[in-house]
Structure 1
Amino acid sequence: MIVIGIDPHKSTHTATAVNSANNRDLGSVRIRSSFDDYAQLITWSKAWPDRIWAVENASGLGHHLTQWLVSRGEAVVDVPSTATARVRQLSRGGRRKNDRIDAAAAACVAFSQGDFRPVAPEGQTGVLRVLDERRVDLVKQNGRLVNQLHALLRELFPGGIGRDFDTEDAAKQLKAFRPETQADAMRKNVALEIVGDLRRIQFQIDDLSTRVKTELAASGTKLMKINGVGIATAARILARTGDPTRFANEAAFASYTGTAPVEVASADKQRHRLSRYGDRTLNSAIHIVAVTQARTPSSDGYAYHQRKMSEGKTSREAMRCLKRQVAKRLWRTMRDDHSAVSRPCSQAALGSSRTGWRR
């Protein structure tokens, strides 16, 4: 088996072929980030028909090349940059570092340590991620414009207006306003322009929400049946998780989301502390679900949170426990949805899914 490691950069990519049997460097090539050079890379790799590609940070700078290779039937795995750093540290390179060494390190990680993740073509989760990121940007932009409009209205009207003002009401008041100075006239014009921008952004947000809802319905996900999971939250969870089967179990998913506590033990002393690692965007989505459940008496999460509080835990400690349980249920739901789409599930298998809260 020949493993071709790739060290990607914005304008160039370096590929190094390594024989997995004897760890021998068989050659290297450097290409530019263009379709013509991608074709040259494939031509160069045909010298080894039995090959696999190991791309460092395939979801980052290597994303475009990775998806191009996958679309042509090539076997590609994603190698984390932290793993290649370990290989360089343990090698006899004398702290040397260049693109060829980095590409070879990615190949070594793939076949020797097995620290990789198979890359699949982008599917519905990729679509949801694009829509979710666009919607988040528009919501942030809407908030900035609302603050700007509020500041202008405070300068135009005595005492301003409340922060929960409606855009249409602001437009009516602005049209009826008669400025007495040139500065106020300019403020009125700018405020009306901001009102127009807010209307346009709100239309775009509503349109994106409709498209997200359509994609969620097409995916057949059951996430929204979980208390606290709405349309936007479900899209974010699916988009950031990707293929749920890439996690060996619910503990691996909890570690990825940063909801698993970190053990800090020494001798007879043992304690756990809050994890600051993992996907923080996904962690935030899980936090929203947990807070909603903790405040909804009819949910399982509410009873679980109250039970932890009665055991002497603080509100924050109980919330951390609840987030861990929410992450478990989310992963099981996504796993079952993935199994239902990939192959028909028997009724017995579906009935064995556990969704209740446990200690």
Structure 2
Amino acid sequence: MSMQQVPSHRRVVVGVDTHKYVHVAVAIDDIGTILDSRSFAADAGGYGQLIDWAASFGGKLTFGIEGTGSYGAGLAGAVRRRGIGALEVVRTDRRDRRLRGKSDTIDAENAAKAVLAGLATAVPKTADGIVEMIRQVKVAKDIAVKARTSAMISLKQVIVNAPDELRQELQALTKMTLINRCAALRPGRVTTVAAATKHTLRSIARRWQQLNAEITSHEKILTELTSSMAPELAKAFAVGPDTAAEMLIVAGDNPERIRSEAAFARLCGVAPIPASSGMTTRHRLNRGGHRQANAALYRVVIVRMQHHEPTKAYVARRTAEGKTKSEIIRCLKRHLARELWAAMRPIREARIESQIAA
């Protein structure tokens, strides 16, 4: 397919289907005509070639990139550094794939057409500041927490199948006493089942201790980063470093990309969705959005329902109005999202001021 030049006042949209090693791009003009399609290596050199190829068409250039949080992150960053607009494109729905088939070129074309039709409007996260640092540490902590939980489950399972005398000695102990006792076991030479069991218990217990120390170090870093970036957010009642980290991760290093508090609530999965039909008017739970952020909001709400006087008063009032506990929790999560969005206002204002100054 020969390349075509587009007048400077016309629009050119480049859709990119991203993969681990290769990115496939399709360029279309503002009436949907395909100008060209190419494949590029998914590395720094390939990003530069792709952007130069896209710029060669002329016109007002915009990129629509799939997977800006994974395989497309590098390309999105390269496009942003060149001062070109980029939008995040969600994967094509299954119905369209059944009708048109599936190929990398078709996916790239669909990405471009989604931008042209106004279906893709999300600005990708920049992932180049403190929030990205927080996200990376949070990943390390979450992995360690899962491993620590797995170690405890394995420890208790080994005790269930341990020789009677050893099982009776350990089964009634509390968690930390059990960990310390098992970590201090001296199995000696592994010549009996009891010695092998002690060896296993000591190994698992010491692993738990190592993971616990690692988690503590991650929590310390998260506390420092979240407190320095968003002190008002970190001070909110029942909002610990984990919850603050999740809220900042949702907002990203460029929170100004989120146009309103309602958009932030939608990202957190707490914006109600109309579910009315006929004479019935109702709303249902939004099952989209960032699930970890939604879970973090839930944990804060549960703590506040038990220990926060204004929240307890709200629950009593809404219960008297006939609301169920689930409905009240959904309302509280929505209110909490509004509160935390307001607490992050200084970050957004600082970003906007820096952009104006630049």
The TM-score by the shorter chain falls in which range?
A: 0.7 to 0.9
- Distance, in Å, in 1 between the alignment partners of 2:323 and 2:121 is 38
- Distance, in Å, in 2 between the alignment partners of 1:149 and 1:96 is 50
Write out aligned runs for 1:103-122 (5 A). 103-113=108-118, 115-122=120-127
Distance 1:270 1:188, change over 3 A: same
CA-to-aligned-CA distance 1:244-268 (integer Å, 9 cap, x gap)? 4333333322222222233221222
- Distance, in Å, in 2 between the alignment partners of 1:192 and 1:316 is 43
Alignment of 1:169 with 2:167, yes or no, is no
- Residue 236 of structure 1 and its aligned partner are, at CA, apart by 1.6
- Residue 196 of structure 1 and its aligned partner are, at CA, apart by 2.4
Q: Aligned partner of 1:287: which letter?
A: Y
- Distance, in Å, in 2 between the alignment partners of 1:313 and 1:94 is 45
- Residue 130 of structure 1 and its aligned partner are, at CA, apart by 1.4
Q: Aligned partner of 1:170: which letter?
A: C
SS at match of 1:135: helix
Q: Pick one of 79, 89, 94 that aligns with 1:79.
A: 89
- Distance, in Å, in 2 between the alignment partners of 1:13 and 1:148 is 43
Alignment of 1:261 with 2:272, yes or no, is yes
Aligned to 2:139: 133
- Residue 96 of structure 1 and its aligned partner are, at CA, apart by 4.3
CA-to-aligned-CA distance 1:220-240 (integer Å, 9 cap, x gap)? 341122211011111122113
- Residue 163 of structure 1 and its aligned partner are, at CA, apart by 4.7
Q: Aligned partner of 1:28: which letter?
A: S
TM-score (norm: length of structure 2): 0.84
- Distance, in Å, in 1 between the alignment partners of 2:214 and 2:81 is 31
- Distance, in Å, in 1 between the alignment partners of 2:176 and 2:298 is 29
Aligned to 1:44: 53
Aligned to 1:144: 150
Q: Pick one of 303, 307, 312 that aligns with 1:296.
A: 307
CA-to-aligned-CA distance 1:196-223 (integer Å, 9 cap, x gap)? 2122212211111121122113313411
Aligned to 1:285: 296
Q: Aligned partner of 1:118: which letter?
A: V
- Residue 178 of structure 1 and its aligned partner are, at CA, apart by 7.6
Q: Contact 1:18–1:24 (CA<8 Å) still a contact in 2?
A: yes
Percent identical: 28
Q: How many residues align?
A: 335
Q: Pick one of 231, 234, 241 that aligns with 1:224.
A: 234
Q: Which runs of 5+ in 1 are unaligned?
A: 345-359
- Distance, in Å, in 1 between the alignment partners of 2:353 and 2:42 is 38
TM-score (norm: length of structure 1): 0.83
Aligned to 1:15: 25
Aligned to 2:3: none
Alignment of 1:124 with 2:133, yes or no, is no
SS at match of 1:15: strand
Q: Which runs of 5+ in 2 are unaligned?
A: 1-10
CA-to-aligned-CA distance 1:127-146 (integer Å, 9 cap, x gap)? 21111121111011101111
Moved more, 34-43 or 127-136: 34-43
Aligned to 2:43: 34
Q: Aligned partner of 2:29: which letter?
A: N
- Residue 341 of structure 1 and its aligned partner are, at CA, apart by 5.2
Distance 1:241 1:267, change over 3 A: same
